[in-house]
């Protein structure tokens, strides 16, 4: 009684502890909420900073793109204007005007565009300058210039824009824009060259008032610099972007504009770049604005965002620290509860009246094979054997009225599919159920094994009683047979020698009956024996009894089963026939003798044959007066069979027994 009272007290303490523990841990929720808020606000801050960075870069790209678009249109228009002027001048030259007239025309033409052209000249087919816009000039040779060689080798009459070249007449850099000249026969007659001032474009570059650190230039696909401006200063045209290995992506330039951020191809300073091709030209406009200048505005905003986030984070941290003592106290209580849960050897659980397992201890893992995490928050009805669902639901309803349920047993399914018997003690409190349970499967299985063993013993006892009754009946019958055999044998005894022989024959006949019983009771099924095993055993026994004679046995036996009522008469018959063969068929001890025995099932009957290779019966008198053969014939009548005897060459006995008799009880 004291132990029961102590157990109830422990259960009450457990209920109160679990009740306190299942209250919502507000402090922990606030802590988690604070951390989530911090993580969320910092994520938003970083997202805003990242977005602001990309926005600033996008502004820089848009700025560079807009400037490059203006420059591209200006450059395309300028080159188109130059080419149109050259086409007009070529028409005048090819109309056979004199070099002096052409020089005057060029002088007038260049005077209105002096800032665009350094020089316009006509070069004949030999490479000599024959006309120019300058009134006084020294004849120079231009036949080795790339633009001259281009037109000399090509038959095309389209304008050609060449790389920046240092002029021999002016001593200044120029961009050669040239046209092929032909005579009336279409033969190469020279080149019309416009030496365009590459720094003409710088005036527009300056008018755009680019921010400090900006870079503008024209270049071609091979990396040749045509003109450019950096911080108001004209670029050195001797630079080769490809040679400086600063423009690895130049060979891959296509016809589409390109924007990006990276090191400048000219000075390796980080810049925001935009490149776009000049319309109908193999040259490109590049605008690069200082990356650091754009980042200054971004850094100011970034520092502001981070500062505000740090202030907010500090405030949240103070709130979290304020809750530290509450969380520590609650954690200690939870630790104490967990310690109790982990040390209990019973199955402890908390569930609600809806049937959901809210909390279980680790012993459930051993009982059901599931991790605790897979058991909690599941319906306990999911684990219950289908046959136990109704009584379990009825017990839950009883809890609402009775208040306590003890010694309730149902079956829970393990993860491996097996079922475990669980015994429960449950008490409700509000909407919660507090329960302690034990796995009593081993106890129930032991009880079931004991009951099964008891039932098996009863069955075995009943079988033994039946067997003893049957044995008593069979022994009585067999003793009657033995007595009858002895009476028959006694009638033929007239001397002591015949008495000894009669006893030996009786011994063999009784042994034939003994072998049947020995084989019968060595099997679980006492109703029949194997005739093949029986005949083999009996024949070898008789062969050993007559071991002085050289006789071999040949057995051809089917595995047939017969009841004892058939086996014993057949055994006595075989004993008589085999003994008769040993006694009369093989009088010569040195002869090679063979006894052959066969057993086979035929439609409706069994056939048993015994034959030997002896001389057979010498006279009918001995045959008719033999007690053994008389006994054989009597037993065959008892079995309702037929006996056939042949004695032409050796002895041959054929016994046909109806199949209905073989299986009669």
pLDDT band at 98 (very low <50, low <70, confident <90, very high): confident
**Measured between alpha carbons, how far is residue 506 from residues 485, 500, 510, 516, 553 in Å?**
7, 10, 6, 16, 23
CA distance 472 to 461: 16
Burial 19-35 (b: 16+ CB within 10 A, else e): eebeeebebeebbeebe
Looking at per-residue confidence, does 350 or 242 come out higher?
350
Task: Give Cα 8 to chain centroid, integer Å.
Answer: 50
Whether pLDDT at 609 is above 90: yes
pLDDT tens-digit readout, 405-454: 888 888 888 888 888 888 888 888 888 888 888 888 888 888 888 988 88
Q: 651 pLDDT exceeds 70?
A: yes
Report all structural domains of the chain as residue ranges with CATH numbers, in order of start.
57-293 (3.30.450.20), 344-439 (3.30.450.20), 496-662 (3.30.565.10)
Is the pLDDT score of 158 beyond 50? Answer: yes
The span from the CA of 446 to the CA of 96, in Å, is: 130
Provide the pLDDT for residue 656.
93
pLDDT digit string, tens, across residues 163-222: 888 877 677 888 899 999 888 888 898 999 888 888 887 777 777 766 677 888 888 888
Range scoring the smallest mean pLDDT among 8-12, 599-603, 625-629, 652-656: 8-12
Q: How far is CA 372 from CA 188, 411, 516, 525, 533, in A?
A: 97, 19, 65, 53, 62
Section 129-156 average pLDDT: 84
> Is the pLDDT assigned to residue 590 strictly greater than 70?
no
Which residue would you say has higher pLDDT here, 41 or 511?
41
Residue whose C-alpha is closest to residue 580's, from 599, 593, 590: 593
Cβ(560)–Cβ(529) below 8 Å: no
What is the phi/psi pair of residue 227, to 5°? Answer: -170, 160
pLDDT score for 47: 92
Q: Say if residues 117 and 193 touch (Cβ distance below 8 Å).
A: no
Burial of residue 91 (CB within 10 Å: 0-12, 13-18, 19+) is exposed
412 bridge partner residues: 384, 420
**pLDDT-based confidence at 483, cuts 50/70/90?**
low
Alpha-carbon span 531 to 561, nearest angstrom? 6
* 276 C-beta neighbours (distance < 10 Å), count: 21
Backbone angles phi and psi of 381, in degrees to 5 = -65, -20
Write down the mean pLDDT value for the chain: 78
Q: Going by C-beta distance under 8 Å and a sequence separation of 6 or more, which residues neighbour residue 646?
A: 652, 654
CA distances (Å), 480 to each of 39, 168, 460, 510, 640, in order? 106, 155, 30, 12, 20
Query: In this model, does residue 480 exceed pLDDT 60?
Result: no
Q: Using the predicted structure, report yes or no on whether residue 225 has a pLDDT greater than 80.
A: yes
Q: How many CB atoms lie within 10 A of CB 150?
A: 16
- Cβ contacts of 140 within 8 Å, gap of 6 or more: 128, 129, 168, 169
What is the per-residue DSSP string for 471-492? HHHHHHHHHHHHHHHHHHHHTT
The per-residue pLDDT for 521 is 54
Distances (CA, A) of 421 to 350, 358, 424, 444, 470: 19, 21, 10, 8, 45
Q: Record the pTM.
A: 0.44
DSSP 142-162: -TTSHHHHHHHH----S-EE-
| Whether the predicted pLDDT of 278 surpasses 80 | yes
Least confident among 79-93, 312-326, 363-377:
312-326
- Band the pLDDT of 504: cuts 50, 70, 90: low
Instruction: Single out the residue of 60, 500, 92 nearest to residue 294, CA to CA.
Output: 60
pLDDT in the model for residue 654:
93
pLDDT in tens, 328-341: 777 776 777 677 76
Of 124, 118, 119, 120, the C-alpha closest to 98 is 124
351-361: average pLDDT: 85
């Amino acid at each position: 009684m004291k132990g029961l009272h102590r157990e109830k007290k422990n259960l009450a303490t457990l209920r109160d502890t679990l009740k306190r523990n299942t209250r919502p841990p507000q402090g922990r929720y606030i802590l988690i909420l604070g951390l989530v808020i911090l993580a969320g606000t910092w994520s938003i801050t970083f997202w805003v900073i990242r977005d602001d960075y990309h926005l600033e870069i996008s502004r820089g790209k848009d700025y560079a793109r807009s400037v490059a678009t203006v420059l591209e249109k200006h450059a395309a228009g300028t080159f188109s204007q130059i080419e149109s002027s050259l086409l007009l001048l070529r028409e005048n030259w090819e109309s056979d005007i004199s070099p002096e007239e052409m020089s005057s025309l060029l002088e007038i033409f260049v005077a209105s565009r002096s800032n665009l052209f350094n020089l316009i000249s006509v070069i004949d087919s030999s490479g000599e300058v024959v006309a120019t816009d300058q009134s006084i000039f020294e004849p120079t040779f231009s036949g080795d210039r790339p633009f001259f060689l281009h037109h000399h080798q090509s038959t095309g009459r389209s304008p050609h824009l060449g790389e920046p070249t240092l002029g021999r007449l002016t001593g200044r850099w120029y961009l050669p824009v040239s046209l092929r000249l032909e005579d009336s026969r279409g033969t190469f007659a020279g080149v019309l060259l416009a030496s365009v001032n590459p720094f003409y474009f710088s005036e527009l570059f300056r008018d755009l008032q680019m921010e400090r650190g900006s870079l503008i230039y024209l270049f071609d696909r091979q990396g040749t610099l045509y003109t450019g401006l950096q911080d108001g200063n004209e670029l050195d045209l001797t630079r080769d972007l490809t040679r400086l290995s600063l423009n690895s992506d130049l060979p891959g330039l296509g016809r589409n504009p390109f924007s990006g951020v990276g090191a400048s191809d000219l000075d390796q300073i980080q810049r925001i770049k935009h490149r776009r091709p000049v319309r109908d030209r193999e040259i490109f406009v590049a605008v690069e604005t200082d990356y650091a200048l754009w980042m200054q505005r971004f850094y100011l905003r970034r520092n502001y965002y981070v500062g505000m986030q740090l202030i907010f984070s500090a405030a949240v941290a103070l709130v979290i620290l304020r809750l530290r003592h509450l969380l520590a106290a609650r954690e200690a209580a939870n630790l104490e509860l967990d310690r109790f849960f982990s040390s209990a050897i019973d199955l402890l659980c908390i569930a609600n009246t809806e049937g959901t397992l809210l909390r279980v201890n680790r012993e459930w893992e051993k009982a059901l094979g599931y991790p605790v995490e897979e058991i909690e928050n599941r319906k306990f009805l999911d684990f219950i054997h289908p046959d136990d669902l109704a009584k379990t639901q009825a017990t839950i309803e009883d809890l609402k009225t009775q208040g306590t349920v003890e010694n309730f047993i149902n079956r829970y399914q393990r993860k491996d599919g097996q079922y475990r018997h669980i015994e429960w003690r449950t008490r409700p409190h509000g909407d919660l159920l507090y329960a302690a349970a034990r796995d009593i499967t081993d106890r129930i299985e032991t009880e079931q094994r004991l009951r099964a063993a008891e039932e098996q013993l009863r069955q075995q006892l009943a079988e033994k009683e039946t067997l003893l009754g049957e044995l008593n009946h069979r022994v009585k019958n067999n003793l009657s047979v033995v007595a009858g055999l002895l009476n028959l044998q006694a009638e033929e005894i007239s001397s002591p020698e015949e008495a000894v022989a009669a006893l030996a024959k009786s011994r063999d006949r009784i042994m034939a009956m003994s072998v049947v019983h020995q084989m019968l009771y060595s099997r679980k099924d006492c109703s029949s024996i194997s005739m093949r095993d029986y005949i083999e055993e009996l024949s070898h026994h008789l062969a050993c009894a007559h071991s002085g004679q050289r006789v071999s046995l040949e057995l051809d036996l089917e595995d047939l089963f017969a009841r004892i009522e058939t086996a014993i008469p057949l055994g006595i018959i075989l004993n008589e026939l085999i003994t008769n063969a040993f006694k009369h068929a093989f009088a010569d001890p040195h002869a090679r003798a063979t006894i052959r025995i066969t057993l086979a099932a035929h439609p409706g009957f069994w056939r048993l044959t015994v034959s030997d290779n002896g001389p057979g019966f010498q006279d009918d008198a001995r045959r008719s007066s033999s007690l053994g053969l008389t006994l054989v014939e009597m037993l065959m009548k008892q079995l309702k069979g037929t006996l056939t005897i042949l004695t032409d060459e050796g002895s041959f006995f054929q016994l046909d027994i109806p199949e209905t008799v073989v299986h009669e009880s």
